[in-house]
Amino acid sequence: MAHSTASPPTRARKTTRRAKARLLAAGIVGAVTVGMMAATPAMAEPEQPDLQATTTSAAAAEKTYERYVFASFHGGDDGGRNGEQIWLSASKGNDPLNWYELNYDEGTSVSQPILQTVNPPQGQQGLRDPSLIRSADGEKFFLLATDLKTYQDGQSWSYRQSKGSRNLVVYESDDLVNWSEPRFVKVEDDHAGNVWAPEAFYDAKNEQYIVFWASNLYPDANIDTRNTSQISYNRIRVATTKDFVTFSQPTTWINLDRSTGRQGWGMIDSTMIATDDRVYRLTKDENGFRVLLQYIDSLDDLYDTWGPQDTQPYAVNKNPITPLTESPNAWTMVGNPNGSSKWQIPGLTGGNLEGPLVFKDNAEDMWYVFIDYASGGGYVAWRSDSMDKAPNEWEYLGQSWCNTTGLSSTCNARSETSPYWSLPVSPRHGSVLPVTLEEWETIMSHYNSPVHVEASVVTADGSPVEDGAWVNEVPKLEVDWTDFNDTGISPTWLRLVEGHNGGARVVSNETISSGITQGMTVPVNAVEGTNWAQLEYRDASLGGDAVMLWTEDVSYKLDTTRPRIDITVDGGNLGIEASDPAPANGAENSGLASCEFRIDDGEWADCAPASELAPAILDRTVSVRATDNAGNESTATSIVEGTGFDVTVDVTTRCVGAKVMQVVTVGNDENVPVSATVTSPYGSKPAPMIASGKSRTHVFNTRAEAMPAGVVVVSMTATVDGEEYTVEESVEYAAASCR
């Protein structure tokens, strides 16, 4: 909840919205005053659950969340007449950084709030700081908001904190589409000067909601005579409820007077999230305009207070200010409260950061924190793979919005290398809630929403590729869309946006404006290594080119290089090495996925750098196959020579009647009998079994005076250890002459 005197934020615009407005008539429902609240003390320290309890019950936790919704307002002085009402945005797919703003006036680029208290006028005719929570059973939604209108009200922030509304505003819905009339609940008596930024957190074991907000408290309850130039300071106040109708008496949860050099600084804008083992709380410290992070290890400490006990008559200002400490109570600071325990925009000196929201990624262990940069245009974003990291260790994502006209080159983005992403148009203090696919589709179908275009990576044959997966051929982008509002039109045009190996974002100079059909494919400019792609597009139903839209970015990795295989045989030692060579551009490769080998037709086994080969009589074939993570496969073979039989073959000649006679002698040095068939160019002679240690001689008559050089082939058969082997040996012989 802003109360800075800095110049109002610049109205930032984005690229993704539209939806059919349904503004429900909102009448004041009988306000529940403090005196009507339940007698149960708000801070009676009920028995606390283990940290299995989270913001929702088991029934709600069983739902599968695949999308998000984002409730926010558009500012006060900067938001115009309708700014301080409730806008709703829906995520593009399951992407927490890309959003469709909803509720467009049909055929225009102008969106409208989904909830408002202007017509008919209700409360202070403003709704700020919306907080969405799912009910304990998972079937209902509550939206809490601040009852405040600052646009052209002629009042100062001091006035708004001393004579402001003591109501919080409650809406209920079963589907995020059909909302109840607003319920204005007076949760503070007239000692309070305001009720700002109400939020709720579900206490599962005690089956109740803890509701908290910021209020200035004053010694007297006479609002009419209150001096608006002598304001108090904001405490975080807390009450409990089971139904958001009847609330317990509020007490002070955080009581830190942070005023220095001026009055009115305290602590505001608390929000909480539960992980498996901790509950985390983010709170704005108005001294320094920073957001702090704390945690507790047990829900036993959920109601633990921070700061001096707050009793009547309420103190207006303390001197000196209440200091920050790392462990003020069970709520332990993450990081140094005077240094690292704050989110900071790089390079920014000063600036008003407030209205934090926090949520977990639906698909991975990643947490997001969006903080309202009230001095300059709405939310900025950070993310971390752990809630335990000090805020200055979170990844800064930037502040993203786009003009509603022109091309994507006019948009601000996280960096020159990032895909285009966009928060809703100048969102101010709000909340993000994970929802199911069915809930998201209901929202998109009800409100006038953009055509939802999805780009997915497919192979050349149309097979889907998982996001971030390796491929071994250049893929394509397949284009599909859902027209939730049944306009019957396709996207007006498409433009390819890509990134390669962390390099600068590349926006195509070409647009596709004809032949746009469901399931069409768009070629990409892939390189070896890491690639991402998205499509920029326009929806003709949103005022032509007036609203810029992008698909959620998709990524893939390309590796077309086959693995390398090296086989070495040294005597009885076999060595096999496989590797995945880096591509020519030096980019990341996919890495070796598997390497297997086998001997002849044996079973495949994992490769080993060195293994022993037992001696064998016959030659053997070593086969190796290696595959990388992109699916490239290489094969290689090597012949390992066998020992054969221990047999000698001697070829000699002699002359008989001037004719050359070829003499072949086979000697058996094996320890088993061997049969041998000798084949010469001059005939073939089978030999009966040659006993161990014996030999047999065969004579071939060449019937010529001269014999050219040639080869004698000896085929030998023997039974060794019950196995019959046949070995063939070739013996070269020299020329001979009897002239």
pLDDT tens for 62-82 read 789 999 999 999 865 545 667
Q: Which residues sit opposite 733 in a β-bridge?
A: 710
Higher-scoring residue by pLDDT: 480, 487: 480
Q: Which two tokens mark 700?
A: 């071939």
Helices (H) and strands (E) in the chain, counts: 3, 48
Please tell me the pTM assigned to this model. 0.78
Alpha-carbon span 109 to 545, nearest angstrom: 9
Give the model's pLDDT for residue 325.
72
Instruction: Give the angle subtended at the CA of 614 by the CAs of 611 and 618, to the nearest 5°.
Output: 125
**Which residue matches tokens 């009966």?**
688
Predicted local distance difference test score (pLDDT) of residue 669: 94
Question: Between residues 572 and 294, which one has the greater pLDDT?
Answer: 294
User: In the prediction, which pLDDT does 125 show?
Assistant: 94
Query: Could you tell me if 460 and 477 are in contact, meaning their C-beta atoms sit under 8 angstroms apart?
Result: no
Domains and CATH numbers, the chain: 17-446 (2.120.10), 452-558 (2.60.40), 564-640 (2.60.40.10), 647-737 (2.60.40)
Share of residues in the chain with pLDDT > 70 (%): 86
Backbone phi, then psi, for 208, in 5-degree steps? -150, 160
pLDDT of residue 403 exceeding 70, the answer is no
What are 299's two structure tokens?
């829900």
Rounded (5°) CA angle 265-269-271: 145
Determine how β-strand 659-668 pairs with β-strand 647-656.
antiparallel
Question: Is the pLDDT at 32 greater than 70, yes or no?
Answer: no
Q: Which two tokens stand for residue 131?
A: 């907080």
Per-residue pLDDT, 152: 84
Please count the other Cβ atoms lying within 10 Å of the Cβ belonging to residue 456: 18
pLDDT at 361: 97
Would the pLDDT of 423 be above 60? yes
Largest CA distance in the chain: 149
Q: Where do we find the tokens 């995945």? A: 580
Tens of pLDDT, residues 261-317: 566 789 999 999 999 899 999 999 988 888 999 999 988 999 999 988 888 888 887
Which two structure tokens, joined as six digits, stand for 601?
């037709």
Contact 44, 34 (CB under 8 A): no
**Quick check: helix, strand or coil at residue 9?**
coil
Q: Which residues are CB-neighbours of 473 under 8 A, at least 6 positions away?
A: 459, 460, 558, 560
- The percentage of residues in the chain with a pLDDT greater than 90, rounded to a whole number, is 63
Pairing of strands 38-41, 248-249: parallel
Question: Would you mind telling me the total number of residues written for the chain in this entry?
Answer: 739
Q: Which two tokens stand for residue 699?
A: 């004579």
Taking residues 703-723, what's their average pLDDT? 94
pLDDT at position 153 is 87
Q: Which of 273, 285, 293, 274 is nearest to 392 (CA)?
A: 293
Higher-pLDDT residue of 27, 647:
647
Asked if residues 548 and 538 have their Cβ atoms less than 8 Å apart, the reply is: yes
The answer to whether residues 536 and 548 touch, using CB atoms and an 8 Å cutoff, is: yes
pLDDT given for residue 49 in this prediction: 42
The predicted pLDDT at position 2 comes to 40
Query: How confident is the model over 89-101, as a mean pLDDT?
Result: 91
**Pairwise CA distance, residues 463 & 466, whole Å:** 10
Q: What is the pLDDT of residue 523?
A: 96
Return d(Cα 262, Cα 158) in angstroms, integer.
Answer: 11
The pLDDT value recorded for residue 18 is 25
> Is 194 in contact with 160 (CB distance < 8 Å)?
yes
Instruction: Name the token pair of 323.
Output: 């200091």
**CA distances to 78, 85, 568 from 151, in Å:** 8, 11, 81
Q: Tokens 């496969």 sit at which residue?
A: 633
Give the mean pLDDT of 442-465: 94
Is it the case that residue 376 has pLDDT exceeding 90?
Answer: no
pLDDT digits (tens, 9 = 90+) for 320-352: 677 787 666 899 999 887 766 788 877 766 678
pLDDT level of residue 21 (50, 70, 90 thresholds): very low
Q: Which pLDDT value is given to residue 78?
A: 47
For position 464, what pLDDT does the model report? 97
DSSP letters for 389-430: S-GGGSEEEE-----SSS-GGG---S-TTSPP-B-SSS-EEE
The pLDDT mean for the chain works out to 85
More confident residue, 82 or 613: 613
Q: How many CB atoms lie within 10 A of CB 197?
A: 28
Three-state DSSP class for 306? Answer: strand
Q: What is the pLDDT of residues 135-162, one digit of tens each?
A: 999 999 999 999 999 988 889 999 999 9
pLDDT at 20: 25
Q: Regarding predicted confidence, which is higher, 34 or 572?
A: 572
pLDDT over 50 at 554, yes or no: yes
Q: Rounded to whole angstroms, how far apart are CA atoms 167 and 184?
A: 6
Measured CA distances, 292 to 92, 251, 288, 324 (Å): 30, 21, 11, 10
